[in-house]
Amino acid sequence: MVAVPRWDVRDLIDIGINLTHRSFDRDRDAVIARATMAGVATLIITGTSVDDSQRAAAFAGERRATCFATAGVHPHHAKDCDARTIDTLRTLAADSNVVAIGECGLDFNRDFSPRDVQEKWFEAQLELAAEVALPVFLHERDAVARMLAILGKHRPKLAGGVVHCFTGTAADIERYLALDLHFGITGWICDERRGASLVEAARSIPLDRLMIETDAPFLLPRTLAHGVAKERRNEPAFLPEVVKALARATRRDELEIATETTRTARRFFGLPGAQTVDAM
Protein backbone atom coordinates (compact mmCIF):
# COMPACT_ATOMS: atom_id res chain seq x y z
CA MET A 1 0.00 0.00 0.00
CA VAL A 2 1.00 3.58 -0.60
CA ALA A 3 1.00 5.94 2.35
CA VAL A 4 -0.79 9.22 1.74
CA PRO A 5 1.38 12.07 3.06
CA ARG A 6 -0.01 14.14 5.94
CA TRP A 7 0.01 17.29 3.80
CA ASP A 8 -2.70 16.92 1.24
CA VAL A 9 -1.37 18.11 -2.08
CA ARG A 10 -3.06 16.18 -4.83
CA ASP A 11 -1.12 17.37 -7.83
CA LEU A 12 2.55 16.60 -7.44
CA ILE A 13 4.35 16.32 -10.77
CA ASP A 14 6.92 13.59 -11.39
CA ILE A 15 9.02 15.30 -14.05
CA GLY A 16 11.10 12.19 -14.84
CA ILE A 17 9.61 8.71 -14.94
CA ASN A 18 10.83 5.96 -17.28
CA LEU A 19 7.34 4.56 -17.68
CA THR A 20 8.16 2.78 -20.94
CA HIS A 21 10.70 0.63 -19.06
CA ARG A 22 9.96 -3.09 -19.35
CA SER A 23 9.69 -3.46 -15.57
CA PHE A 24 6.33 -1.62 -15.89
CA ASP A 25 5.04 -3.79 -18.76
CA ARG A 26 2.73 -5.91 -16.64
CA ASP A 27 1.13 -3.20 -14.47
CA ARG A 28 1.60 0.23 -16.09
CA ASP A 29 -1.97 1.38 -15.42
CA ALA A 30 -1.87 0.17 -11.82
CA VAL A 31 1.34 2.18 -11.36
CA ILE A 32 -0.46 5.31 -12.60
CA ALA A 33 -3.46 4.59 -10.35
CA ARG A 34 -1.21 4.23 -7.30
CA ALA A 35 0.56 7.48 -8.22
CA THR A 36 -2.79 9.31 -8.39
CA MET A 37 -3.77 7.89 -5.00
CA ALA A 38 -0.49 9.13 -3.54
CA GLY A 39 -1.15 12.64 -4.87
CA VAL A 40 1.14 12.38 -7.89
CA ALA A 41 -1.35 13.55 -10.50
CA THR A 42 0.96 14.27 -13.42
CA LEU A 43 3.73 12.14 -14.91
CA ILE A 44 6.24 13.32 -17.49
CA ILE A 45 7.52 10.20 -19.22
CA THR A 46 11.19 10.37 -20.16
CA GLY A 47 12.09 9.57 -23.77
CA THR A 48 15.57 8.06 -24.00
CA SER A 49 15.79 6.95 -27.64
CA VAL A 50 13.83 7.57 -30.83
CA ASP A 51 11.77 4.37 -30.42
CA ASP A 52 11.29 4.98 -26.72
CA SER A 53 10.25 8.61 -27.30
CA GLN A 54 7.65 7.45 -29.85
CA ARG A 55 6.26 4.97 -27.32
CA ALA A 56 6.24 7.62 -24.56
CA ALA A 57 4.39 10.14 -26.74
CA ALA A 58 1.84 7.55 -27.89
CA PHE A 59 1.24 6.41 -24.33
CA ALA A 60 0.83 10.01 -23.11
CA GLY A 61 -1.63 10.62 -25.94
CA GLU A 62 -3.85 7.87 -24.57
CA ARG A 63 -3.79 9.33 -21.06
CA ARG A 64 -4.21 13.03 -21.67
CA ALA A 65 -3.99 15.37 -18.68
CA THR A 66 -2.22 12.67 -16.63
CA CYS A 67 0.81 11.83 -18.77
CA PHE A 68 3.12 13.94 -20.89
CA ALA A 69 6.37 12.94 -22.57
CA THR A 70 9.79 14.17 -23.53
CA ALA A 71 11.40 13.33 -26.88
CA GLY A 72 15.11 12.81 -27.10
CA VAL A 73 18.13 10.54 -27.21
CA HIS A 74 20.08 9.74 -24.04
CA PRO A 75 23.88 10.05 -24.42
CA HIS A 76 24.16 6.27 -23.94
CA HIS A 77 22.29 5.89 -27.26
CA ALA A 78 24.03 8.72 -29.14
CA LYS A 79 25.95 6.12 -31.17
CA ASP A 80 22.63 4.90 -32.62
CA CYS A 81 21.66 8.35 -33.99
CA ASP A 82 21.53 8.80 -37.75
CA ALA A 83 20.42 11.25 -40.42
CA ARG A 84 16.74 10.71 -39.58
CA THR A 85 16.98 11.11 -35.80
CA ILE A 86 16.44 14.84 -35.55
CA ASP A 87 13.61 14.81 -38.12
CA THR A 88 11.79 12.14 -36.13
CA LEU A 89 12.25 14.06 -32.88
CA ARG A 90 11.01 17.21 -34.64
CA THR A 91 7.82 15.41 -35.68
CA LEU A 92 7.34 14.19 -32.10
CA ALA A 93 7.92 17.71 -30.76
CA ALA A 94 4.85 18.90 -32.67
CA ASP A 95 2.67 16.59 -30.54
CA SER A 96 0.98 18.66 -27.82
CA ASN A 97 1.78 15.95 -25.22
CA VAL A 98 5.52 16.33 -25.84
CA VAL A 99 6.69 19.03 -23.44
CA ALA A 100 10.51 18.93 -23.68
CA ILE A 101 13.43 17.75 -25.81
CA GLY A 102 15.54 15.11 -24.04
CA GLU A 103 16.71 13.42 -22.16
CA CYS A 104 19.89 14.51 -23.82
CA GLY A 105 23.33 15.42 -22.60
CA LEU A 106 26.66 13.86 -21.70
CA ASP A 107 27.58 10.76 -19.71
CA PHE A 108 31.35 10.41 -19.32
CA ASN A 109 30.85 7.95 -16.46
CA ARG A 110 29.73 4.96 -18.47
CA ASP A 111 30.94 6.16 -21.89
CA PHE A 112 28.49 3.87 -23.70
CA SER A 113 28.87 6.17 -26.72
CA PRO A 114 32.17 7.84 -27.73
CA ARG A 115 32.43 11.32 -26.21
CA ASP A 116 32.67 13.19 -29.51
CA VAL A 117 29.54 11.36 -30.71
CA GLN A 118 27.72 12.26 -27.48
CA GLU A 119 28.64 15.92 -27.94
CA LYS A 120 27.57 15.98 -31.58
CA TRP A 121 24.06 14.65 -30.87
CA PHE A 122 23.69 16.68 -27.69
CA GLU A 123 24.29 19.85 -29.69
CA ALA A 124 21.94 18.70 -32.44
CA GLN A 125 19.18 18.23 -29.86
CA LEU A 126 19.88 21.63 -28.30
CA GLU A 127 19.51 23.19 -31.76
CA LEU A 128 16.23 21.34 -32.24
CA ALA A 129 14.95 22.48 -28.83
CA ALA A 130 15.72 26.08 -29.77
CA GLU A 131 13.99 25.66 -33.13
CA VAL A 132 10.78 24.18 -31.65
CA ALA A 133 10.91 26.43 -28.55
CA LEU A 134 10.70 23.58 -26.04
CA PRO A 135 12.82 23.33 -22.87
CA VAL A 136 15.51 20.65 -22.62
CA PHE A 137 15.61 17.74 -20.17
CA LEU A 138 19.31 17.32 -19.46
CA HIS A 139 21.39 14.35 -18.33
CA GLU A 140 24.92 14.90 -17.07
CA ARG A 141 27.27 12.46 -15.38
CA ASP A 142 30.97 13.16 -14.81
CA ALA A 143 30.87 15.71 -17.62
CA VAL A 144 29.98 18.99 -15.95
CA ALA A 145 32.77 21.07 -17.53
CA ARG A 146 31.89 20.09 -21.13
CA MET A 147 28.20 20.33 -20.31
CA LEU A 148 28.57 23.92 -19.12
CA ALA A 149 30.72 24.87 -22.11
CA ILE A 150 28.20 23.49 -24.61
CA LEU A 151 25.17 24.87 -22.77
CA GLY A 152 26.83 28.27 -22.49
CA LYS A 153 27.03 28.41 -26.26
CA HIS A 154 23.38 27.42 -26.84
CA ARG A 155 21.64 28.90 -23.79
CA PRO A 156 20.69 32.27 -25.36
CA LYS A 157 18.47 30.46 -27.87
CA LEU A 158 16.99 27.88 -25.48
CA ALA A 159 13.55 28.24 -23.88
CA GLY A 160 14.91 26.63 -20.70
CA GLY A 161 16.62 23.58 -19.30
CA VAL A 162 16.42 21.26 -16.31
CA VAL A 163 19.41 19.24 -15.12
CA HIS A 164 17.58 16.03 -14.31
CA CYS A 165 18.67 13.79 -11.43
CA PHE A 166 21.02 16.48 -10.20
CA THR A 167 23.60 15.02 -7.79
CA GLY A 168 26.33 17.65 -7.99
CA THR A 169 27.88 20.20 -5.68
CA ALA A 170 26.95 23.71 -4.56
CA ALA A 171 29.59 25.01 -7.00
CA ASP A 172 27.86 23.16 -9.86
CA ILE A 173 24.54 24.69 -8.79
CA GLU A 174 26.06 28.15 -8.96
CA ARG A 175 27.36 27.53 -12.50
CA TYR A 176 24.05 26.10 -13.72
CA LEU A 177 22.15 28.99 -12.12
CA ALA A 178 24.39 31.42 -13.99
CA LEU A 179 22.86 29.86 -17.13
CA ASP A 180 19.38 30.23 -15.60
CA LEU A 181 18.76 26.47 -15.53
CA HIS A 182 16.48 24.38 -13.31
CA PHE A 183 17.19 21.26 -11.20
CA GLY A 184 15.39 17.92 -10.93
CA ILE A 185 15.91 16.18 -7.59
CA THR A 186 15.35 12.42 -7.25
CA GLY A 187 15.34 9.92 -4.39
CA TRP A 188 19.13 10.20 -4.44
CA ILE A 189 18.56 12.83 -1.74
CA CYS A 190 16.87 10.16 0.42
CA ASP A 191 20.14 8.23 0.75
CA GLU A 192 21.85 9.31 3.97
CA ARG A 193 25.26 8.06 2.77
CA ARG A 194 25.45 8.55 -1.00
CA GLY A 195 23.18 11.61 -0.92
CA ALA A 196 24.84 13.42 2.01
CA SER A 197 26.61 16.03 -0.14
CA LEU A 198 23.42 16.60 -2.16
CA VAL A 199 21.50 17.30 1.07
CA GLU A 200 24.02 20.09 1.72
CA ALA A 201 24.02 21.38 -1.84
CA ALA A 202 20.24 21.37 -2.26
CA ARG A 203 19.95 24.23 0.21
CA SER A 204 21.46 26.57 -2.37
CA ILE A 205 18.86 25.82 -5.06
CA PRO A 206 16.28 28.62 -5.18
CA LEU A 207 12.75 27.28 -4.68
CA ASP A 208 11.62 28.56 -8.07
CA ARG A 209 14.36 26.53 -9.79
CA LEU A 210 13.51 23.24 -8.10
CA MET A 211 11.48 20.29 -9.43
CA ILE A 212 11.07 16.69 -8.29
CA GLU A 213 11.22 13.32 -10.03
CA THR A 214 11.48 9.63 -9.25
CA ASP A 215 13.56 8.46 -12.27
CA ALA A 216 11.60 5.24 -11.64
CA PRO A 217 12.07 2.30 -11.92
CA PHE A 218 15.53 3.40 -10.76
CA LEU A 219 16.60 5.14 -7.54
CA LEU A 220 14.17 3.69 -5.03
CA PRO A 221 14.24 6.10 -2.03
CA ARG A 222 16.17 4.52 0.83
CA THR A 223 13.85 6.21 3.32
CA LEU A 224 11.00 3.86 2.39
CA ALA A 225 10.18 1.27 5.01
CA HIS A 226 11.55 -2.13 4.16
CA GLY A 227 9.03 -4.19 2.19
CA VAL A 228 7.04 -1.22 0.81
CA ALA A 229 8.48 -1.65 -2.66
CA LYS A 230 8.21 -5.17 -3.94
CA GLU A 231 11.21 -6.19 -6.02
CA ARG A 232 12.92 -2.90 -5.04
CA ARG A 233 11.33 -1.20 -8.05
CA ASN A 234 10.78 2.54 -7.70
CA GLU A 235 7.50 4.03 -8.93
CA PRO A 236 5.92 7.49 -9.08
CA ALA A 237 3.74 6.85 -5.99
CA PHE A 238 6.97 7.16 -3.97
CA LEU A 239 7.59 10.77 -5.08
CA PRO A 240 6.37 12.17 -1.71
CA GLU A 241 9.57 10.66 -0.21
CA VAL A 242 11.55 13.17 -2.27
CA VAL A 243 9.35 16.02 -1.00
CA LYS A 244 9.98 14.94 2.59
CA ALA A 245 13.74 14.63 2.10
CA LEU A 246 13.92 18.01 0.35
CA ALA A 247 11.95 19.62 3.17
CA ARG A 248 14.40 18.18 5.71
CA ALA A 249 17.41 19.21 3.63
CA THR A 250 16.25 22.77 3.01
CA ARG A 251 14.50 23.20 6.40
CA ARG A 252 11.31 24.16 4.65
CA ASP A 253 7.77 22.99 5.09
CA GLU A 254 6.79 19.87 3.11
CA LEU A 255 3.67 21.65 1.89
CA GLU A 256 5.77 24.53 0.60
CA ILE A 257 8.12 22.15 -1.29
CA ALA A 258 5.13 20.29 -2.76
CA THR A 259 3.29 23.46 -3.78
CA GLU A 260 6.28 25.28 -5.22
CA THR A 261 7.77 22.35 -7.16
CA THR A 262 4.39 21.80 -8.82
CA ARG A 263 4.05 25.48 -9.64
CA THR A 264 7.57 25.54 -11.10
CA ALA A 265 7.00 22.38 -13.17
CA ARG A 266 3.74 23.72 -14.62
CA ARG A 267 5.42 26.92 -15.65
CA PHE A 268 8.61 25.26 -16.92
CA PHE A 269 6.88 22.63 -19.09
CA GLY A 270 3.93 24.86 -20.01
CA LEU A 271 1.45 22.32 -18.62
CA PRO A 272 -2.27 23.05 -18.77
CA GLY A 273 -4.22 24.09 -15.67
CA ALA A 274 -1.51 26.33 -14.27
CA GLN A 275 -3.57 27.29 -11.23
CA THR A 276 -2.05 26.83 -7.79
CA VAL A 277 -2.20 23.46 -6.06
CA ASP A 278 -5.20 22.41 -4.06
CA ALA A 279 -3.80 22.54 -0.55
CA MET A 280 -6.07 21.67 2.36
Which is closer to Zn ion, CB of 139 or CB of 263? 139
Question: Shortest approach of Zn ion to residue 251 CB, angstroms?
Answer: 28
For residue 155, state whether it binds Zn ion (rule: CB under 5 A). no
Question: Shortest approach of Zn ion to residue 225 CB, angstroms?
Answer: 27
For residue 76, state whether it binds Zn ion (rule: CB under 5 A). no
Contacts of 210 (CB under 8 A, 6+ apart): 182, 183, 185, 202, 246, 257, 260, 261, 264
In degrees and rounded to multiples of 5, residue 181 shows phi and psi of -105, 165
Question: Shortest approach of Zn ion to residue 218 CB, angstroms?
Answer: 9
| Closest to 275 measured CA to CA, from 267, 210, 41 | 267
Question: Shortest approach of Zn ion to residue 47 CB, angstroms?
Answer: 11
Which is closer to Zn ion, CB of 91 or CB of 109? 109
CB 257 within 8 Å of CB 251? no
Which is closer to Zn ion, CB of 107 or CB of 254? 107
CB 213 within 8 Å of CB 189? no
Q: Please identify, among the stretches 94-102, 134-142, 220-228, 249-257, the one whose residues bind Zn ion according to the rule CB under 5 A.
A: 134-142
Q: Binding to Zn ion (CB under 5 A): which residues in 42-61?
A: none
Question: Shortest approach of Zn ion to residue 18 CB, angstroms?
Answer: 9
How far is it, in rounded angstroms, from Cα 109 to Cα 24? 26
Count of residues that interact with Zn ion, criterion CB under 5 A: 1
Question: Shortest approach of Zn ion to residue 4 CB, angstroms?
Answer: 29
Residue 104: what residue type?
A: C
CA 115 to chain centre: 23
Which is closer to Zn ion, CB of 5 or CB of 75? 75
Which is closer to Zn ion, CB of 139 or CB of 154? 139
Which is closer to Zn ion, CB of 172 or CB of 260? 172
Report which residue's Cβ sits closest to Zn ion. 139
Per DSSP, helices labelled H in 71-169 are: 85-93, 115-132, 144-154
User: Is 199 in a helix, a strand, or coil?
Assistant: helix
Which is closer to Zn ion, CB of 74 or CB of 263? 74
Q: Residue 157, Cβ neighbours under 10 Å: how many? A: 12
**Binding characters for Zn ion, 88-127, by CB under 5 A (x = yes):** ----------------------------------------
| Closest to 187 measured CA to CA, from 172, 173, 198 | 198
For residue 139, state whether it binds Zn ion (rule: CB under 5 A). yes
CA pseudo-torsion sign 139, 144, 145, 148: positive
Q: Binding to Zn ion (CB under 5 A): which residues in 159-178?
A: none
Chain residues binding Zn ion by CB under 5 A are 139
